Structure 1
Amino acid sequence: MSQNITVEITGKVIETNSKQPIEYATISILNNNDKKPITGAVTNTNGIFIIDTHATNFYIEVSFIGFTTQTFKDFNISNNKINLGVISLSEDEQDLDEILIRAEKSQTEFKLDKRVFNVGTDLSSTGASALEVLNNVPSVNVNIEGEVSLRGSQGVQILINGKPSVLTNADGNALGTITADMIEKIEVITNPSAKYDAEGTSGIINIVIKKSEKKGLNGSASLNVGVPNSNSFGLSLNKRTEKFNLFSQIGFGKRTFPRETTSINSDLINNITINSVGESEFNEKFSNILIGTDYHINDSNVITLSGTYAYEVEDQNSTANYNSIDATNSITDSWIRDEITKATNPKLRYELQYKKDFKRHEDQDLLFSALGSSFRKDQSSDFLDTILTGSDTDTQQETRTDYKLEDYIFKLDYTHPFLEKYTIETGSQYAINIVSNDFAVSDFTNGVWVDNADLTNVFDLDQKVLALYVTSAYEGDIWGVKLGVRMENTDLYTILKNTNETNNTNYTNLFPSIHTSYKLNENMSLQAGYSKRINRPGLRSLNPFSNIRNNFSISTGNPDLLPEYTDSYELTSIQKIGKASLNFSLYHRYTTDVIERVTISFEDNINISRPENIGTSNTTGLEFNGKYNPINWFSLNGDFNINFFSRKGVFETESFDFKGNSWSTSLASKFKLPLDFDFEISGDYFSKYKSLQGETSDNLYADLGIRKKILKGKVILNMSVRDVFASRVNESETFQSDFYLYNSSQRGRFVTFGISYGFGKGEAMEFSGQRH
C-alpha cells in the first residue's frame, strides 16, 4: 500500500462475562519489525473505537488493565478499512491478583490544604468500624467512649463525603456503624480552607465512602463471629450499566460491649468517701438497608439519589457495688445499684445530588446536593438500689427519654479553572438542625411513681447556619497559593419548655484562610497555612439534664454556652528519602472562650459537672509521621505528636492558669508471610496530661490482624484482635482542696473471625455488616 493511503480501523471492545462495553480500552498500532508503537486510541463509553493510520506494515493490540491483551496480525483490508468487529476481553486473573495485592498498601497523598489516607485493607481494621479505622490514621485518636480527637483536641468536625451526617452527630456510637470495607479514604484537614465548614476548632476529618465503578453485577458477602459478641452478616451489591449505577447494601447482626468501671468520690473536709466498682454489658441488635442509583444523563450530567434506613434495638444491664467509708476507714453503708436500660433507634437518611461537568476543563464542575436525615431514640431505664448494710432503705428510680433529631443541608458549589494554573471556587450552604429531648426522672415513693420536677423537662434546639464562601488558588509546578474567606450566619434558639427558659442568639462571623506550598526539589516540599475556626456547642453540651447512671457523679449540660473560636497556624515539610517518606508539622492554635467540663458542685459526696467557657488556650505542637518500605514484604508506619499548652482563665473567682504538655506515638508493622498470609501489628501510646482540675492518665495498647486470601482473592479469611493485652484503660483524676475524684473505664479485648466472598467482578471486600 502507498503511504499516502489512510486506513481506517474500527471495532467494539466488550467484557467476556457481562458482555458490557469497556471504556478507555487501549488500541495500539505497532510496527511489525521493531514492535514500536506507531499510533493509538482509546474506546469511548460504548466501547467503540475508530483509528486512522498511514502505516503499511503493522499489527494491532487491544488491551485494558486487569484483562488479557488481544493481538491481531491477520486481518482483511476492504476499501481501505479494517473492521475488527466485537472484541471480547477476559480478566487476567494473575494480573488482577497482583493489582489487588498492591492495592492493600495504604498510601498517603498531600494536597494543598489536606492529607489523604487511602484506607486499603489494613488488617487490624478487619471487621472493624469507622471509629477503629480512624484510630489507625496519623494525628487521629478515638478514646474508649468513641470521642474523636485530632492532635489531642476534640474540637474536630467529622464529615461523610464532604457533608455533615446524622452518623456523626447523633447520640451513641453512631459513627461506629460505618464499616471499614465501605471506606475508600480518609481526608485529614488540620487547617481547612474557606471552602469547608468553619465548624471544628482542631480541623476536619472527611470520610469518603466507596462507590464501585465496575460494570456488570458485582457483590460481596461476609459472615463474622467474635468474642465478645460481634456476629453479623452483610451483603453488598452493585450493578453498573451504561446509564445507571445501582448500589445496595443490607446488614444485620448483634454486638456486645462489656465495660468495667471504678469511681471514687472523697470529701476531704468531712473525710467521707463513696467508692464504686461496677460492670456493664451493652447489647445491640441491628439491621440496615441502603439503596441508591447514579443516573448518567450524558457524559456531563449525573444525578445521584440514595436512601438508608436502619433500626437498632439496644439493652444495657449494669451492676455497681457502692461503699460509704468514714474517717476511720470503716464501711458505714453498702449497697448495690442495678440498671436495666432498653432503647430503640430508627434512622433515616436520604440524599439528592446533581453534578455537571463542563467540556471546557476537566476540573470545572457545578455540584448541588440536598441531604435530609432523622434519628430517634426511645429509651427507658430502671434503677434499683439494694441496701446491704446501713440504715437506708431500698430505693427505685426510672428515667424516660424521647429524643428526636432532624438535619437538612443544602449545598451549591462551583469550581472554575482558568489560565491553566488558576482556580476559583465559590458556593453556599444552608444547614438546619432541629432537636428535641423529652427527659423525665421518676422516684418510687410510698408505693407510687412521682415525677422529679428538678430533673424532668423538654429541651428543644433549633439552629440554622447560612454560609457563603469564595476561594482563589494558583497552583504551579513549583509553588502554589490558595486564599479564601467564608461568611457564616448562625441563628440559635433553645427552650426549656416546662420552665419556659429561652436562649435566642444570632451572630455573623468571617473566617479567612490562606494556604501555600513550595516544591524545593523532587523529594521535598513545604506547606504553610492559616485559618480561623468555630466550635459551636452541641446538644450534649447545651442540654441541662443529667445522667443519673452513677448518682454520685452527675454530668449535665449548659444552655448558656458560647462557641469557641480558634486561630490555627501550620507549617509542614514533606520529604522522600529512598524508600521512606517523612512528614514534619509545626502548628499553633489560639482559642478563646474555651469549653471545659468542670465540677461546679460537690456536696454530700455528689459531684455535679457541666461545661463552661473558661478563658483562653495557647497550644504549640510538633508532629512527625513517616512510612518506610525497605523490602517488598515489610512496611513500617510511625507517628509522633507532642504539644505544649498554656491555659489562662477564671471560673467563679478561682484562677485556672496553668501550663502543661502531652505527647503520643503510634507504630504499625505489616508483613507478607509465606503461603499467602498477611500479618499486621500496631501499638499506640498516649502520655499523661494535665487538665483544668486534675489530670488524665497515660494509655498503652496494641492491635493485630492476620489474613489469608484464597481463590485469587475471591475469598478472604481473617482474624483481628483489638486491644491485645486488654491494657486500654481511660483514667482521670480531679484534685481540689475540698474533694478528690477518680474515674476509670475499660472495655477489654475484642477478637473477630470472618469470611468474605466476592462474586461477579468484585473481590471479597471484608464487609462486616455492622449497623449504619
Structure 2
Amino acid sequence: MKKIINNSLSVLIFLLMSNYTIAQDKVIKITGILVEDTTSQPIPYATVVINDKNTKKIISGTTSDDNGRFSISTSKTNFYVEISFMGFETKTITEFKITNGKVILGKIALVTDNEALDEVVVTSEVSKTVFKLDKRVFNVGADISSTGASALEVLNNVPSVTVSIEGEISLRGSSGVQILINGKPSVLADESSNALGTITADMIESIEVITNPSAKYEASGTAGILNIILKKDEKKGWNGSVSINTGIPDNHSVGLSLNRRTENFNLFAQLGAGYRSLPKDSEAINKNLTDNEVIYSDGIEYRNETFYNITLGTDYHINDLNVLTLSGNFAYEIEEQPSETNFSYFDSNNDLISNWVRNETTDATNPKYSYELNYKKQFKNNEEHTFQLSALGRFFGKDQSSHFTNTTISGTDNNSNQETETDFQQADYTFKADYTNPINDTYTLETGAQYVINDVGNDYEVRGLINDVYVVNEELTNNFEYNQKVFGFYATAAYEKEKWGIKAGLRVEQTNLKTLLTNTNESNEQNFSNFFPTLHTSYKVSDNVSFQAGYSRRIFRPRLWDLNPFFNIRNNFNVRVGNPNLQPEFTDSYELTSIYKIGKASLSSSIYHKYTTAVIERVSTFENNVTITTPENIGTNATIGFETNGKYRPNNWLTLTGDFNFNYFDRIGTNETQIFNFSGSQWSSRFGSKIGLPADIDVELTGRYQSSFETVQGNVTGYAFLDLGVRKKIFKGKAIINLGVRDLFESRIQESYVYQPTFETYSFSQRGRFITLGISYGFGKGEAMTYSGGRRR
C-alpha cells in the first residue's frame, strides 16, 4: 500500500513538471488497455509508470482514460512497466517486444488486492451523523464510498432509513418519503425507476434526514424528506446498468440506465418497457336493518398494464459556481381492467331473490410526461451561500372506455348493460426560487417563494342500454373541471452554536381553488390565505447523544378524487363519490426526539402531539340497499403518541432494524344529525433482519403489524404480514440476482365494518402473494442497481 502511494505521488510530481521534452531521437511508444481480471471491465485513472531497470527510478508516467486505455512514450530502452490502482495488486511487466518503435501490451488484467482493500476500510474516515437544528446530516465516509455501492445501499446505512432488497425506501417505518437531489426534485430521485442505482457512494457528500420540515418546505403533509447532496467532483466516466425482471402474477420488464460524467456535463438516460398485472379479490355485504334485506357480492378484478418509458437528463456545470439542469421523462401505458363480480340478493326470510354476475371490460391509454429546468448559483465566500431557480411541469392523460354487463343466473331478472367513457387530463406546474445566506458560522438566513398550478379536466359519460340502444344517463354524466393555484413565500432565521441552536420560520401560502361541473353549471370557489410557523431547536449532549424539538403547522388539501362528485359504477351497491365542498385539514404538530448511538446500535425515540381541525373522514350513507361513501369534514382529532426506531449491526453479516408507533386519539365531531365523539388507540410495528451469508448472498426478512382501530362509523381490522428477499452478488457486485416474495403468507388484508342504526356494511379486499425475480448488471464505476421494479405507485 505504501508503495502504491509513493508511486502515485511520484507520477503526480512528474506530470506537473512543465516544459519537459524528450531530447533523444528514438522514441518508444507503449500502449495497453487495463481491465479487471474477473469482469473484463475497463479500469480508468490507474497509474502507469516506466521505471529504469538499474536505478528503479521513474522515467515517465501517465494514467488510463475512461476506457482503461493508456499511451506513454520514452527514449530509454532499459525499462520496465509498473501499473497500480487502489484496490488492485500492483502489476510489473518486464517482458515485452519492441517492434518499429512500439510496445503493444494489449489487454492487461489487474487482480483485486483484498488485503489492500481491508487496509483502506480500517484507516479511512468513518461515516458519521451530525445533528443540525431541523435535520440530521449523515456524512458519507470512505468506509462506504470505497465499496462502490449504489445510493440505495448508502441510504440503508443512514439511521432511521430502511431500504428493502426490492429498493423500497422508508423513513421511521413510513413510506411516501420525498427524495431530493441537492435540495431539489430530480429524475434521478424518482423512486419508481432504477435511477438511484446509477449514483455511486463516492459521488455522495452527505444525506440530510428531515422528519419535521421547516418553513422552507411546502406546508402540505409528507412522511419526511431525504436530501442527497452530491460532491462537486463527481466521478467522471460511464455508469450504467441493464436489468431483466419477471414475476408472479405477471410482472415482466427490461430496463437500461446510463450515466455519463465529464468535466462539465452529467448526462443521464433511462429506457424501460414491460407488462404487469395486479389482481385483487374483494367481498362486500350490505345489510338493511329496516327490512333485513341483504346483498352479498364477491369477485376478482385486474389491472393489466403494458408500459414504456424514457428519461433523459443533464447537469451542465457552467463553472465551479453555476450549474444548469435540464431533464425530462415520457411514459406511455396501455391498460386493461377486466373484472367479474357475483351478486346475491336475499329478503328478510333469507330467501334468495336474485343472483347475477356483473362483468367489466375496461381499456385505457395513459400518456404522461414531466420536465425540469433548474439553475443553481453558489457564491465565492461560502459554498452554502446559494441561489436557486427551478421550473417543473407534469402531465397525465387517460382515455378510458368501459363496458359493464349484468347477466342473471337465477331469480328476478337483473340483466342490464352500461358503458362509460372517460377523458381525463391533468397538468401540474411548479416554479420555485430559494436563497440561503450563512452570514457567519452562527447565523443563517433563508428565504424563497413557490407557485404551484394544478389544472385538471375530467369528462365522464355513462350510457345505459335501452331498447338495444345506448342512451346517455344524464344523472351520472358530467364534466368536472378542477383548478388550484397555491402561492407560497417563506423566511427562516437560525442561530447555531456547537452544542445548541434554534431556528424559527414562517411560511405564508395563498390558495385559490375552483371546481366546476360544466353540464349542470355547479361551481365552487375557495380562496384563503394561511400562516404556517415553524420552530426547531436541538441540543447536543455528546457525539452519541442529542435531543431535538420541533413545532410546525401543516395543511392537507383535498385531492382531486376527494372533490370529484362522480359515481364509480364498478359495483352499483358500493359507490364512492367525491365532495366538491370539502375543506382542507390543518394540523399543529409538536415533537420531542432523542437520538442515541451506543456502540453498533442507533436508537431514535419521539413523543409527539398532533391537533387537527376540519378532519376529513369517509362517511357512509344507505339508500335502496346502496352504500354511498363520501368524504366529509368531521370535527377535530387530538393525538398523542410515542414512536421509536432502531438499527443494530452486531457484526458484518447481520443487521437488525425495528420500529414501533403507538398513538391515542380523541375525536370530537358531528355530521348533520350524527355525533362522532369517541376515543381510541392504534399501534403498528415493523421488524427487519438482513443476514449476510457466504458466497455474497443476503437474506432479508421484514415483518409488519397494523392493529385494528375504531373509525367514525365502525372499525378497521388489524393485520400482519411478512416479506422475504434474497440477493446474490456475482462478478464482485457487477451483477445482482434478486428474489422477492411480498406477503409470504398471504395475510395482508383490508377489512372494514360500518355499524349504523339502519344499516351495516362489510368490505374486504386482498392482493395476495407477489413473487419477483430480477437480474441486473452494472458497468462503469458502481455496482448493479438494486432491483426496484414491480411496485405499483
- TM-score class normalised by the smaller sequence: 0.7 to 0.9
In structure 2, C-alpha distance between the alignment counterparts of 1:733 and 1:762, rounded to whole Å: 50
C-alpha separation between the residues in 1 aligned to 2:110 and 2:676? Answer: 69
Given that 2:703 and 2:722 are in contact with CA atoms closer than 8 Å, whether structure 1 keeps it comes out as yes
Secondary structure of the equivalent of 1:120? helix
Pair 526,178 (structure 1): closer, same or farther in 2 beyond 3 Å: same
User: 1:42 — aligned with what?
Assistant: none
The whole-number CA distance in structure 2 between the counterparts of 1:625 and 1:643 is 15
- Alpha-carbon distance change, 19 to 714 in structure 1, aligned in 2, over 3 angstroms: closer
Q: Quote the Cα distance in structure 2 between the aligned partners of 1:507 and 1:420.
A: 39
Matches within 5 A, 1:65-76: none
The 8 Å contact of residues 126 and 718 in structure 1, kept in 2 or not, is answered as no
C-alpha distance in 2 between matches for 1:241 and 1:167: 17
When residues 242 and 176 of structure 1 are mapped into structure 2, their CA distance, relative to the original with a 3 A threshold, is: closer
Offset at 1:330?
Answer: 2.1
Long gaps (5+) in structure 1: 1-6, 26-60, 72-87, 142-147, 149-156, 169-173
What's 1:721 paired with? 741
In the alignment, which residue of structure 2 is the partner of 1:138?
Answer: 172
Measured in 2, the distance between the counterparts of 1:740 and 1:187 equals: 48
Match of 1:440 in 2: 461
1:199 maps to: 220
Match of residue 536, structure 1, among 542, 545, 557: 557
Residue type of the alignment partner of 1:748: G
- Deviation readout 1:329-372 (Å, 9 max, x if unpaired): 22211000111111111011011111111121121111111111
Task: Output the CA distance in 2 between the equivalents of 1:186 and 1:335.
Answer: 57
Alignment of structure 1 residues 490-501 onto 2, 5 Å: 490-501=511-522
After TM superposition, give the deviation of residue 243 of structure 1 in Å: 1.1
| Counterparts of residues 627-646 of structure 1 (less than 5 Å) | 627-646=647-666
Q: Would the aligned equivalents of 2:373 and 2:390 in 1 still touch at CA under 8 Å?
A: yes
Deviates more, 1:657-666 or 1:460-469: 460-469
**Residue pairs, 1:355-374, within 5 angstroms:** 355-374=376-395
Q: Are the aligned partners of 2:198 and 2:239 in contact in 1 as well (CA < 8 Å)?
A: no
Report if aligned partners of 1:563, 1:593 keep a CA contact under 8 Å in 2. Answer: yes
2:756 maps to 736
Deviations 1:685-710 (A, max 9, x none): 00000011111100100111111111
What amino acid is aligned across from residue 138 of structure 1 in structure 2? R
What is the DSSP-based 3-state SS (H/G/I as helix, E as strand, rest coil) of the residue aligned with 1:364? strand
Find the partner of 1:465 among 480, 486, 491. Answer: 486
Larger radius of gyration: 2
* 1:422 corresponds to which of 434, 443, 467: 443
User: What are the ranges of 5 or more consecutive residues in structure 2 without an aligned counterpart?
Assistant: 1-9, 18-32, 36-41, 48-81, 93-107, 139-150, 201-205
**Which of residues 693, 696, 701 is equivalent to 2:716?**
696
Pick aligned residue for 1:120 from 153, 168, 176: 153
Distance 1:383 1:94, change over 3 A: farther
Task: Report the CA distance shift for 1:108/1:747 in structure 2 as closer, same or farther (over 3 A).
Answer: farther
- What amino acid sits opposite 1:216 in the alignment? G
- Per the alignment, residue 519 of structure 1 pairs with 540
The answer to whether structure 1 residue 237 and structure 2 residue 270 are counterparts is no
**RMSD of aligned C-alpha atoms?**
3.6
Q: Residues 576-595 of structure 1, C-alpha deviation per residue, up to 9 Å, x if partnerless?
A: 12221111100001111111
Q: SS of 1:612's equivalent?
A: strand
Could you say if the C-alpha distance between residues 621 and 165 of structure 1 is closer, same or farther in structure 2, counting changes exceeding 3 Å? farther
Report SS of the residue matched to 2:278.
strand
* Residue equivalent to 2:15: 11
C-alpha distance in structure 2 between counterparts of 1:373 and 1:659, whole Å: 41
Task: Determine the structure 2 residue equivalent to 1:707.
Answer: 727
Q: Which residue of 2 is the match for residue 317 of structure 1?
A: 338
1:323-722 alignment, distance < 5 Å:
323-599=344-620, 601-722=621-742
Partner residue in 2 for 1:225? 246
Q: Deviation digits for residues 311-337 of structure 1, max 9, x if unmatched?
A: 001101111111011222222110001
Q: Is the 8 A contact 2:654 2:691 kept in 1?
A: yes
In 2, Cα distance between equivalents of 1:749 and 1:364: 50
**Distance (Å, rounded) in 2 between the aligned partners of 1:633 and 1:393:** 62
**Partners of 1:237 and 1:167 in 2: how far apart?**
11
Residue in structure 2 matching 1:303, options 324, 333, 337: 324
Give the 3-state SS of the residue equivalent to 2:534 in structure 1: strand
CA distance in 2, matches of 1:67, 1:179: 29
Q: Distance in 1 between matches of 2:240 and 2:120?
A: 16
Name the SS for the 1:374 alignment partner: strand
Asked whether the 8 Å contact 1:182–1:209 carries over to 2, the reply is no
Q: Which has the higher contact order (CA 8 A, sep 6+)?
A: 1
Question: Residues 729-768 of structure 1: matches in 2 within 5 Å?
Answer: 729-768=749-788
The amino acid that maps onto 2:391 is A
- The answer (yes or no) to whether the contact 2:341–2:358 under 8 Å persists in 1 is yes
Structure-2 change in CA distance of 1:336 and 1:581 (3 Å): same
Closer, same or farther: CA 571–223 of 1 in aligned 2, 3 Å: same
Give the percent of matched residue pairs that are identical in Structure 1 and Structure 2.
51
For 1:213 and 1:514, the matched residues in 2 are separated by 35
What SS is found at the alignment partner of 1:362? strand
Output the CA distance in 2 between the equivalents of 1:207 and 1:668: 24
Which amino acid letter does the alignment assign opposite residue 354 of structure 1?
Y
Cα distance between partner residues in 2 of 1:317 and 1:506: 41
Mapped to 1, the partners of 2:130 and 2:406 lie a distance apart of 55
Distance across 2 between alignment mates of 1:438 and 1:408: 21
Q: Secondary structure at the match of 1:762?
A: coil
Would you say the 8 A contact 1:624–1:639 is kept in 2?
A: yes
- Distance in 2, matches of 1:167 and 1:460, equals 32
Q: 1:558 to 1:297 in 2, by over 3 A?
A: same
Query: For residues 91 and 356 of structure 1, what CA distance do their matches in structure 2 show?
Result: 43
Paired letter, 2:153: G
For the 8 Å contact 1:179–1:768, the answer to whether it is kept is no
Q: 1:160 to 1:733 in 2, by over 3 A?
A: farther
Cα deviation, 1:417-444, whole Å, max 9, x if unaligned, reads 1221321111111111101111111111
For 1:280, the equivalent position in structure 2 comes to 301
Change (3 A) 1:340 1:409: same
Alignment check: 8 A CA contact 2:331 2:369 kept:
yes
The alpha-carbon distance between structure 1 residues 66 and 166, as it changes in their structure 2 partners (threshold 3 A), is closer
**Contact residue 192 and residue 788 of structure 2 kept, 8 A:** no
User: What is the CA distance between 1:108 and its match in structure 2?
Assistant: 8.0
Secondary structure of 2:400's counterpart equals: strand
Query: How many residues are treated as equivalent by the alignment?
Result: 687
Letter in 1 for 2:507: R
Partner amino acid, structure 2, of 1:11? L
Please, which of 269, 275, 286 is the counterpart of residue 248 of structure 1?
269
Q: Measured at CA, do residues 391 and 282 of structure 1 come closer, stay the same or move farther in structure 2, by a change above 3 Å?
A: same
Name the aligned partner's letter for residue 624 of structure 1. T
CA–CA separation in structure 1 for the residues paired with 2:246 and 2:164: 12
Q: Say whether residues 1:271 and 2:292 are aligned partners.
A: yes
Distance in 2, matches of 1:388 and 1:267, equals 23
1:62 and 1:167 map into 2 onto residues whose CA distance is 35
**In 1: Cα distance, 2:110 partner to 2:385 partner:** 35
8 Å Cα contact 2:275-2:307 kept in structure 1: yes
Q: Distance in 2 between matches of 1:753 and 1:509?
A: 48
For 2:609 and 2:454, locate their aligned partners in 1 and report how far apart those are by CA, in whole Å. 31
Following superposition, the deviation at residue 191 of structure 1 comes to 2.4
Q: 1:263 to 1:99 in 2, by over 3 A?
A: farther
1:106 deviates by 12
